[in-house]
Homo-oligomer: A and B are copies of this chain.
Amino acid sequence: MSKEEIIEQEIINGAKKLMQQYGLKKTTMEDIAKAAGKGKSTLYYYFKDKEEIFDRVINLEMDEFFQTVKTAVYKQSNEIDMLKTYIVTKIKTLKDKANLYRFAIENDMQGRINKEFANLRNRYDNEEKKLISSILEKGVEASLFKSFVLQELDTLSELLVSCIRGVEMDIIAYNKNRSLLDKSDMLVEMLIKGIGK
Protein backbone atom coordinates (compact mmCIF):
# COMPACT_ATOMS: atom_id res chain seq x y z
CA MET A 1 0.00 0.00 0.00
CA SER A 2 1.41 3.39 -0.95
CA LYS A 3 1.74 6.12 1.63
CA GLU A 4 -1.14 7.92 0.02
CA GLU A 5 -3.35 4.89 0.39
CA ILE A 6 -2.34 4.45 4.00
CA ILE A 7 -3.32 7.99 4.89
CA GLU A 8 -6.56 7.68 3.00
CA GLN A 9 -7.26 4.59 5.02
CA GLU A 10 -6.51 6.42 8.26
CA ILE A 11 -8.88 9.18 7.34
CA ILE A 12 -11.60 6.76 6.33
CA ASN A 13 -11.16 4.74 9.49
CA GLY A 14 -11.49 7.82 11.62
CA ALA A 15 -14.52 8.93 9.68
CA LYS A 16 -16.03 5.49 10.05
CA LYS A 17 -15.81 5.61 13.81
CA LEU A 18 -17.25 9.09 13.99
CA MET A 19 -20.13 8.24 11.74
CA GLN A 20 -20.94 5.11 13.66
CA GLN A 21 -20.95 7.09 16.85
CA TYR A 22 -22.61 10.34 15.87
CA GLY A 23 -24.40 9.71 12.61
CA LEU A 24 -23.84 11.35 9.32
CA LYS A 25 -25.26 14.80 9.84
CA LYS A 26 -23.33 15.36 13.03
CA THR A 27 -20.01 14.27 11.58
CA THR A 28 -18.33 17.34 10.15
CA MET A 29 -15.23 17.67 8.05
CA GLU A 30 -13.70 19.39 11.05
CA ASP A 31 -14.30 16.31 13.18
CA ILE A 32 -12.91 13.97 10.58
CA ALA A 33 -9.82 16.11 10.18
CA LYS A 34 -9.23 16.26 13.90
CA ALA A 35 -9.66 12.52 14.23
CA ALA A 36 -7.08 12.01 11.51
CA GLY A 37 -4.71 14.45 13.17
CA LYS A 38 -4.74 16.61 10.03
CA GLY A 39 -5.90 20.04 9.02
CA LYS A 40 -9.37 20.40 7.62
CA SER A 41 -8.18 21.37 4.19
CA THR A 42 -5.93 18.34 4.03
CA LEU A 43 -9.02 16.22 3.60
CA TYR A 44 -9.57 17.91 0.28
CA TYR A 45 -6.14 16.80 -0.81
CA TYR A 46 -7.23 13.22 -0.49
CA PHE A 47 -10.94 13.42 -1.25
CA LYS A 48 -13.03 15.53 -3.56
CA ASP A 49 -15.71 16.34 -1.03
CA LYS A 50 -17.63 15.10 1.96
CA GLU A 51 -19.70 12.79 -0.15
CA GLU A 52 -16.67 10.94 -1.44
CA ILE A 53 -15.63 10.23 2.13
CA PHE A 54 -19.08 8.90 2.93
CA ASP A 55 -19.10 6.65 -0.06
CA ARG A 56 -15.78 5.21 0.95
CA VAL A 57 -16.90 4.62 4.50
CA ILE A 58 -20.03 2.83 3.45
CA ASN A 59 -18.07 0.75 0.98
CA LEU A 60 -15.65 -0.25 3.67
CA GLU A 61 -18.38 -1.05 6.17
CA MET A 62 -20.24 -3.23 3.77
CA ASP A 63 -17.17 -5.12 2.69
CA GLU A 64 -16.20 -5.86 6.27
CA PHE A 65 -19.70 -6.80 7.15
CA PHE A 66 -20.12 -9.16 4.26
CA GLN A 67 -16.71 -10.70 4.88
CA THR A 68 -17.60 -11.49 8.47
CA VAL A 69 -20.82 -13.16 7.44
CA LYS A 70 -19.20 -15.18 4.70
CA THR A 71 -16.42 -16.43 6.93
CA ALA A 72 -18.89 -17.64 9.52
CA VAL A 73 -21.05 -19.32 6.90
CA TYR A 74 -18.22 -21.26 5.30
CA LYS A 75 -17.23 -22.74 8.63
CA GLN A 76 -20.43 -24.77 8.63
CA SER A 77 -20.53 -28.32 7.33
CA ASN A 78 -24.04 -28.53 5.88
CA GLU A 79 -26.36 -26.19 4.05
CA ILE A 80 -29.04 -26.03 6.70
CA ASP A 81 -26.49 -24.85 9.25
CA MET A 82 -25.16 -22.47 6.66
CA LEU A 83 -28.53 -20.84 6.26
CA LYS A 84 -28.97 -20.63 10.02
CA THR A 85 -25.50 -19.19 10.44
CA TYR A 86 -26.07 -16.70 7.67
CA ILE A 87 -29.15 -15.35 9.36
CA VAL A 88 -27.86 -15.35 12.88
CA THR A 89 -24.39 -13.99 12.12
CA LYS A 90 -25.72 -11.29 9.93
CA ILE A 91 -28.09 -10.10 12.57
CA LYS A 92 -25.54 -10.31 15.37
CA THR A 93 -22.87 -8.50 13.38
CA LEU A 94 -25.31 -5.83 12.43
CA LYS A 95 -25.76 -4.84 16.02
CA ASP A 96 -22.22 -3.48 16.10
CA LYS A 97 -22.96 -1.46 13.03
CA ALA A 98 -26.42 -0.25 13.81
CA ASN A 99 -25.73 3.11 12.26
CA LEU A 100 -24.64 1.71 8.94
CA TYR A 101 -28.02 1.51 7.33
CA ARG A 102 -28.88 4.79 8.85
CA PHE A 103 -26.10 6.29 6.73
CA ALA A 104 -27.13 4.41 3.74
CA ILE A 105 -30.56 5.89 3.64
CA GLU A 106 -29.92 9.20 5.30
CA ASN A 107 -27.08 9.86 2.94
CA ASP A 108 -29.46 11.03 0.29
CA MET A 109 -27.25 13.90 -0.58
CA GLN A 110 -28.69 14.98 -3.87
CA GLY A 111 -32.27 14.49 -2.80
CA ARG A 112 -32.53 11.08 -4.39
CA ILE A 113 -30.55 7.99 -3.59
CA ASN A 114 -27.24 8.85 -5.10
CA LYS A 115 -26.03 6.70 -7.91
CA GLU A 116 -22.68 5.72 -6.53
CA PHE A 117 -24.46 4.46 -3.49
CA ALA A 118 -27.15 2.66 -5.42
CA ASN A 119 -24.46 0.83 -7.36
CA LEU A 120 -22.72 -0.06 -4.16
CA ARG A 121 -25.86 -1.46 -2.66
CA ASN A 122 -26.65 -3.35 -5.79
CA ARG A 123 -23.22 -4.91 -5.82
CA TYR A 124 -23.53 -5.94 -2.22
CA ASP A 125 -27.04 -7.26 -2.58
CA ASN A 126 -25.98 -9.27 -5.55
CA GLU A 127 -23.19 -10.85 -3.61
CA GLU A 128 -25.60 -11.79 -0.86
CA LYS A 129 -28.00 -13.21 -3.34
CA LYS A 130 -25.25 -15.25 -4.94
CA LEU A 131 -24.18 -16.59 -1.57
CA ILE A 132 -27.73 -17.67 -0.76
CA SER A 133 -28.21 -19.11 -4.24
CA SER A 134 -25.14 -21.28 -3.94
CA ILE A 135 -26.19 -22.52 -0.52
CA LEU A 136 -29.61 -23.46 -1.82
CA GLU A 137 -28.14 -25.19 -4.85
CA LYS A 138 -25.65 -27.19 -2.83
CA GLY A 139 -28.44 -28.01 -0.40
CA VAL A 140 -30.54 -29.51 -3.15
CA GLU A 141 -27.58 -31.55 -4.37
CA ALA A 142 -27.08 -32.80 -0.83
CA SER A 143 -30.77 -33.76 -0.73
CA LEU A 144 -31.37 -31.37 2.11
CA PHE A 145 -33.78 -29.15 0.19
CA LYS A 146 -36.62 -29.98 -2.13
CA SER A 147 -35.70 -29.96 -5.77
CA PHE A 148 -38.37 -27.37 -6.77
CA VAL A 149 -36.03 -24.88 -5.14
CA LEU A 150 -33.84 -25.03 -8.25
CA GLN A 151 -36.66 -23.86 -10.48
CA GLU A 152 -37.32 -20.84 -8.30
CA LEU A 153 -33.72 -20.28 -7.32
CA ASP A 154 -33.59 -16.66 -8.37
CA THR A 155 -36.79 -15.36 -6.84
CA LEU A 156 -36.32 -17.48 -3.79
CA SER A 157 -32.87 -16.22 -2.94
CA GLU A 158 -33.96 -12.65 -3.51
CA LEU A 159 -36.89 -13.23 -1.21
CA LEU A 160 -34.68 -14.64 1.48
CA VAL A 161 -32.30 -11.72 1.31
CA SER A 162 -35.25 -9.36 1.61
CA CYS A 163 -36.81 -11.14 4.56
CA ILE A 164 -33.57 -11.22 6.47
CA ARG A 165 -33.05 -7.55 5.77
CA GLY A 166 -36.49 -6.96 7.25
CA VAL A 167 -35.58 -8.62 10.50
CA GLU A 168 -32.35 -6.62 10.52
CA MET A 169 -34.23 -3.38 10.05
CA ASP A 170 -36.12 -3.94 13.23
CA ILE A 171 -32.99 -4.54 15.10
CA ILE A 172 -31.51 -1.32 13.80
CA ALA A 173 -34.63 0.61 14.59
CA TYR A 174 -35.33 -0.75 18.05
CA ASN A 175 -31.92 -1.83 19.16
CA LYS A 176 -33.52 -4.69 20.98
CA ASN A 177 -32.08 -8.17 20.78
CA ARG A 178 -34.71 -9.65 23.01
CA SER A 179 -36.52 -12.14 20.88
CA LEU A 180 -33.81 -11.73 18.27
CA LEU A 181 -32.78 -15.34 18.44
CA ASP A 182 -36.39 -16.42 18.64
CA LYS A 183 -37.14 -14.64 15.46
CA SER A 184 -34.16 -15.81 13.50
CA ASP A 185 -34.70 -19.35 14.71
CA MET A 186 -38.27 -19.25 13.62
CA LEU A 187 -37.33 -17.81 10.25
CA VAL A 188 -34.95 -20.69 9.71
CA GLU A 189 -37.57 -23.14 10.87
CA MET A 190 -40.23 -21.76 8.55
CA LEU A 191 -37.73 -21.84 5.79
CA ILE A 192 -36.87 -25.44 6.34
CA LYS A 193 -40.52 -26.30 6.47
CA GLY A 194 -40.97 -24.53 3.18
CA ILE A 195 -38.02 -25.86 1.27
CA GLY A 196 -36.49 -28.62 3.37
CA LYS A 197 -37.11 -32.26 2.63
Contact = CB atoms under 8 A, between A and B. Distances in A.
A166 B90 CA distance: 14
Interface in A14-55: 22-23, 25-26
Interface in A66-110: 101-102, 104-106, 108
B121 A173 contact: yes
Contacts of A118: 173-174
Nearest to A112: B23
Chain copies in the assembled complex: 4
Interface stretch (A1-9, A131-139, A186-194): A186-194
A152 B105 contact: no
A162 B173 contact: no
Contact of A187 (B101, B121, B163, B175): B163
9 contacts: A22-B111, A25-B108, A102-B108, A106-B106, A158-B183, A159-B186, A164-B166, A165-B170, A190-B191
